[in-house]
Amino acid sequence: MIYLVSTQTNAFDGEFKQITLHQALDMLSGLKLIGTDTETAGLDCYTKPLLTIQLGNAEFQIVFDISSYGGIIPKQLKDFLNKSEATFLLQNAKFDLKFLYYQDVILKHVYDTMLVETILTIGLQKDGRDLKTLCQKYCNVDLDKSVRGEIITKGLSAAVIRYAAYDVVYLEEIRRKQMSQVKYLKLDNAVSLDNEFVKVLAYIEYCGIKLDWLKWKEKSLKELEIVAERKQELDSWLLTNGYNKYFSGIRDLFTGEMDCILNWNSSQQVIKLFEELGIPCEVKVRGETKKTVEQKSIGKYADDFPLLKLYFSYKDAVKQTSTYGLNWQSMINPVTGRIHTTFKQIMNTGRLSSGNSRENKPNLQNLPSDELTRSCFISESGYKYIAVDYCAQESIILANFSQDRNLLDFYAKGFEDSSMSTY
């Protein structure tokens, strides 16, 4: 089923015109800018089906009921999407692109309104960059999102069709007004590069990475043993130094050891102990005094207090098991058998970030560098992983853009030959 929604058919009052696939593609073929959106049954493109695709502009919107095609994008529509030279306008493009990748659709030209808004406002505002906010900001329209999710529970009702259509109506106007700011601020290159890069990131997320689970499990179990050993060392230090009050007095029937009642994972309990030992735990953060047991704050006292070295060693082991431990089994996609992370393309710092704990997506950018951990990530048969890193990437880019003679000379001659030894 394919629905034409437009002001000419009073569609926003609840009336829709059903058209053929040929008619739909004929209308879309003349557009250079195509507002694009999808409705899905969930967030995971591998386990949740694509329900609709919406294409159009302010004049007309076409809602393709993909569920009526058995969840498979019709070949003619797929061919159109793959071959089109139009620029497809999306809000949060990565999400929609992954569902399209799953069905072998790769859009050539993409413009992400949310991404461009991030480029324009990074570090300047805390307001949201969702479609509703952008419609209010650029179009003075209060977009109705009250039926969001109803397609899953109620199917493709008139209200859902109307809702789906509205999600592409204002994308062209938002782009036009954004680009006016982009040109004024001379951010054309940044916008162009990031709109290309979003396709790459979406594909990386879509592909995921293969994990040797048996090897990872073996590694994690050994690390749990290390945690137990480190805790035993901490408990033994307390006993050896006469801090019996932190023990229950009840001895294990088999080992004869007493149970330590101090929870080494409780910052409050550890702070109390450390203060008793004379270890300074107070630090000033933004003018305010707080108590902490973080190594970056009190690690400087480790030479004077041997217990600190034992404690930091224990915490490192705990972090290893909690962050890179057996919990990763739940992160393996049941369909692909791979780990799929998520990326935030532009943080407030301008950098790329990885991972989302709320979505059970791990951070794959900051994996431990030890050989064992890295060896758990394996390539498919016939392929190999290669490591590539940039040296002083940011400053080299700065030299190129600024054309500063000293910087250019520095990088042209090399670090050793340059008089700029401070670099």
Which pLDDT score, from 0 to 100, does residue 124 have? 80
pLDDT band with cut points at 50, 70 and 90 for residue 7: low
Between helices 188-207 and 113-121, what is the axis angle to 10°? 130
Same domain, 152 and 75: yes
Same domain, 224 and 290: yes
In a domain, 223, yes or no: yes
Which pLDDT score, from 0 to 100, does residue 14 have? 47
pLDDT over 90 (residue 387): no
146-155, 194-203, 226-235, 381-390: lowest mean pLDDT where?
Answer: 146-155
Residue 223's CATH number: 1.20.1060.10
Which pLDDT score, from 0 to 100, does residue 182 have? 97
Q: Is 37 helix (H, G, I), strand (E, B) or coil?
A: strand
Q: How far apart are CA 56 and CA 82, in angstroms?
A: 16
In a domain, 382, yes or no: no
pLDDT over 50 (residue 420): no
Same domain, 198 and 264: no
In a domain, 153, yes or no: yes
Beta carbons of 344 and 358 less than 8 angstroms apart: no
Helix (H), strand (E) counts: the chain: 16, 16
Same domain, 52 and 140: yes
Which pLDDT score, from 0 to 100, does residue 283 have? 87
Same domain, 16 and 140: yes
> Final residue of a domain: which of 173, 207, 241?
207
Token pair 């109390």 in the structure block, residue: 272
In a domain, 352, yes or no: no
Same domain, 99 and 162: yes
Q: Name the token pair of 114.
A: 């949310």
Contacts of 285 (CB under 8 A, 6+ apart): none
In a domain, 422, yes or no: no
Residue 153's CATH number: 3.30.420.10
Same domain, 223 and 244: yes
Q: Name the token pair of 154.
A: 């109620």
Same domain, 176 and 194: yes
Q: How many CB atoms lie within 10 A of CB 27?
A: 17
Q: How far apart are CA 71 and CA 151, in angstroms?
A: 14
Same domain, 12 and 159: yes
Pairing of the two strands 247-251 and 17-18: unpaired
Strand partners, 353: 344
Between helices 113-121 and 131-139, what is the axis angle to 10°? 70
pLDDT over 60 (residue 156): yes
pLDDT band with cut points at 50, 70 and 90 for residue 291: very high
pLDDT band with cut points at 50, 70 and 90 for residue 288: confident
In a domain, 18, yes or no: yes
With a pLDDT cut of 90, the percent of the chain lying above it is 71
> Final residue of a domain: which of 169, 184, 207?
207
Which pLDDT score, from 0 to 100, does residue 11 have? 45
pLDDT band with cut points at 50, 70 and 90 for residue 15: low
Same domain, 194 and 283: no
In a domain, 386, yes or no: no
Q: How far apart are CA 71 and CA 92, in angstroms?
A: 22
Q: How far apart are CA 207 and CA 98, in angstroms?
A: 9
Q: What share of the chain is helix, strand, coil (3-state, %, to 5)?
A: 50, 15, 35
Which pLDDT score, from 0 to 100, does residue 336 have? 95
Beta carbons of 343 and 204 less than 8 angstroms apart: yes
Contacts of 376 (CB under 8 A, 6+ apart): 211, 212, 215, 216, 219
Q: How far apart are CA 262 and CA 398, in angstroms?
A: 52
In a domain, 395, yes or no: no
> Final residue of a domain: which of 327, 357, 372?
327
Q: Is 135 helix (H, G, I), strand (E, B) or coil?
A: helix
With a pLDDT cut of 70, the percent of the chain lying above it is 93
The gap from C-alpha 221 to its chain's centroid, in whole angstroms, comes to 28
7-16, 210-219, 390-399: lowest mean pLDDT where?
Answer: 7-16
Expressed as residue numbers, the domain containing 320 is 213-327
pLDDT over 90 (residue 350): no
Same domain, 181 and 249: no
Same domain, 83 and 201: yes
Which pLDDT score, from 0 to 100, does residue 254 have? 60
Tens-place pLDDT, residues 160-208: 888 888 899 999 999 999 999 999 999 999 999 999 999 999 999 999 9
How many structural domains comprise the chain?
2
Q: What is the DSSP letter of 286?
A: T
